[in-house]
C-alpha cells in the first residue's frame, strides 16, 4: 500500500492507495474517525449493486465501532446525485436517523459520490467530518483529494459547493475490477492533466505504457501511476488550499471541459470532457503564443492511444461557448485559462470573454 500525505496542518490526512482488504480499510477509517457517535455511509447505488467489496467493508467497520449508529444510504449513480434536491434528501435522511454533530459521513463511490458526501457533510449541522473510499480511477486521482465538494446547477457544473477536507481517503484498487472500461479510461484523463501541468516524467511514463494502462494492467503499476497523480494534487493543494493562486492550475482543461460536459447533459464522462477541454486549452494556448504546435500534437496522440476523444472542434457550439460565461473561473469580463507551454509547467492567464468566445467559435 502506498501512502501519500496531504499536510494541511490541523486538516492533514493521508491518501492510501492499493488493494485494501475490508478489515484493514475499516481499521484505517475507524482510526481516522476517532469516536464518532454515528457513521452515515453514502454509497453509489451502482457500486453497491456491482461490487462485492461494499458489504464486507461495512461489516468490518461496524465491528470496529461497536455501539455506533452505522447506517447506509444509497445515492443515485454518477452525476445524478449532484443536485441540491439530492442533497436535501440526504440531509433529511441523516436527520431522521438521528445523526448529531459527533457523526461522520463516509462516501463509497466515484467522484460524484465524493462531491455529494463532502458537500452534505460540510453543511449538515453547520459541518461534520467525512471520509472517502474512492471506487473509480477518476475519484482516486481527482475528486477524493483536495477538499473541493459541490453539486451542479442547470446553469453549469459544480456551481454550488464548499471546501471541506476529508479525514482520510482510501483508493481501494480492488473496486476497479467492476469498473466499466470506458470509466477506467476516462479516469486517465486527469492523470494526463497532472503530467502536463506539473510532472513531465509522469507524462513520459503514460506515453510509454498507454495501451497497457488503458486495459487491465497489473495493480502495482497502476498504483504508482495513481500515486504520482495524487502527489501532484497534494503538493498543489498544500501550497494553495482554497485556490487563491497556484491551485488554479488543476483546472487545466476544465473551463471548456465542464461546458462540454454540462451541455451534453452529462452523457460525456468527466474525463472524456476534460480530454476535449485540454485539447481546447492547448489550441487556445497556441493563439496566445504559449503552447507550441508539437505539444498539442503530442498530447492528442497520447489521448487517442488511451481511447479518449480529442475532436473538440466539432463539439463547440454557441451553447457550449455560452456556458463559459457562468464558469467558476470567470473574473468579471475575463475568464481565467490554464495554459501549458512545456510539460511539467503551467501558467494562468485571463482572457477577455469576447476574445475567448471568438477563439473558441473558430478554433485553430
Active-site entry in 67, 126, 314, 331: 126
Active-site entry in 64, 116, 164, 190: 190
Active-site entry in 79, 183, 241, 243: 243
Chain centroid to CA 254 = 11
Nearest alpha carbon to residue 60 among 148, 177, 172: 172
Nearest alpha carbon to residue 346 among 302, 296, 291: 291
Q: What distance in Å separates the CA atoms of residue 309 and residue 294, rounded to the nearest whole number?
A: 18
Active-site entry in 233, 296, 323, 329: 233
Element (H, E) at 123: helix 111-123
DSSP state of 76: P
Active-site entry in 16, 53, 251, 323: 251
Active-site entry in 164, 258, 328, 329: 258
Q: What is the DSSP string of 152-171?
A: EETTEEEEEEEE---S-EEE
Catalytic: 251? yes
Grid-cell match 488554479, residue found: 248
Catalytic: 243? yes
Q: What distance in Å separates the CA atoms of residue 338 and residue 325, rounded to the nearest whole number?
A: 16
Chain centroid to CA 360 = 25
Within 10 angstroms of residue 59's Cβ, the number of other Cβ atoms is 14
Active-site entry in 53, 116, 148, 296: 148
Q: What distance in Å separates the CA atoms of residue 240 and residue 82, rounded to the nearest whole number?
A: 25
Catalytic: 328? no
Catalytic: 265? no
DSSP state of 7: -
Catalytic: 126? yes
Catalytic: 193? no
Beta bridge partners of 352: 334
Active-site entry in 116, 254, 323, 329: 254
Active-site entry in 82, 157, 270, 329: 270
Beta bridge partners of 18: 172
Within 10 angstroms of residue 347's Cβ, the number of other Cβ atoms is 14
Active site residue ranges: 126, 148, 190, 233, 243, 247, 251, 254, 258, 270
Amino acid at each position: 500500500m502506498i501512502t501519500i500525505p496531504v499536510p494541511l496542518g490541523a486538516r492533514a490526512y493521508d491518501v492510501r492507495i492499493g488493494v485494501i482488504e475490508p478489515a484493514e480499510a475499516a481499521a484505517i477509517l475507524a482510526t481516522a474517525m476517532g469516536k464518532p457517535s454515528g457513521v452515515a455511509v453514502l454509497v453509489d447505488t451502482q457500486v453497491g449493486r456491482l461490487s462485492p467489496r461494499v458489504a464486507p467493508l461495512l461489516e468490518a467497520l461496524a465491528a470496529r465501532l461497536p455501539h455506533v449508529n452505522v447506517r447506509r444510504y444509497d445515492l443515485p449513480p454518477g452525476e445524478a446525485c449532484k443536485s441540491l434536491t439530492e442533497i436535501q434528501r440526504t440531509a433529511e435522511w441523516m436527520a431522521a436517523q438521528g445523526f448529531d454533530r459527533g457523526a461522520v459521513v463516509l462516501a463509497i463511490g466515484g467522484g460524484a459520490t465524493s462531491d455529494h458526501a463532502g458537500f452534505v457533510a460540510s453543511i449538515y449541522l453547520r459541518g461534520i467530518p467525512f471520509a472517502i473510499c474512492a471506487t473509480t480511477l477518476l475519484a482516486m486521482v481527482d475528486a477524493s483529494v483536495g477538499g473541493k465538494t459541490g453539486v451542479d446547477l442547470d446553469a453549469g457544473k459544480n456551481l454550488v459547493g464548499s471546501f471541506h477536507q476529508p479525514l482520510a481517503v482510501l483508493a481501494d484498487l480492488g473496486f476497479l475490477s467492476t469498473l466499466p472500461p470506458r470509466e477506467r479510461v476516462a479516469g486517465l484523463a486527469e492523470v494526463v492533466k497532472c503530467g502536463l501541468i506539473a510532472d513531465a516524467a509522469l507524462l513520459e511514463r503514460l506515453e510509454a505504457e498507454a495501451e497497457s494502462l488503458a486495459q487491465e494492467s497489473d495493480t502495482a503499476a497502476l498504483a504508482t501511476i495513481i500515486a504520482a497523480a495524487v502527489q501532484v494534487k497534494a503538493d498543489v493543494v498544500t501550497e494553495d488550499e482554497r485556490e487563491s493562486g497556484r491551485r488554479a492550475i488543476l483546472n487545466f482543461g476544465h473551463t471548456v471541459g465542464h461546458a462540454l460536459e454540462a451541455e451534453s447533459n452529462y452523457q460525456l464522462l468527466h474525463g472524456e470532457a476534460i480530454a476535449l477541454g485540454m485539447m481546447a486549452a492547448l489550441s487556445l494556448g497556441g493563439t496566445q503564443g504559449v503552447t507550441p504546435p508539437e505539444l498539442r500534437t503530442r498530447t492528442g496522440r497520447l489521448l487517442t492511444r488511451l481511447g479518449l476523444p480529442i475532436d473538440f472542434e466539432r463539439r463547440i457550439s454557441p451553447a457550449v461557448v455560452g456556458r463559459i460565461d457562468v464558469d467558476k473561473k470567470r473574473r468579471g469580463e475575463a475568464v481565467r485559462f490554464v495554459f501549458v507551454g512545456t510539460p511539467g509547467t503551467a501558467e494562468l492567464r485571463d482572457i477577455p470573454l469576447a476574445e475567448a468566445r471568438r477563439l473558441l467559435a473558430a478554433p485553430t
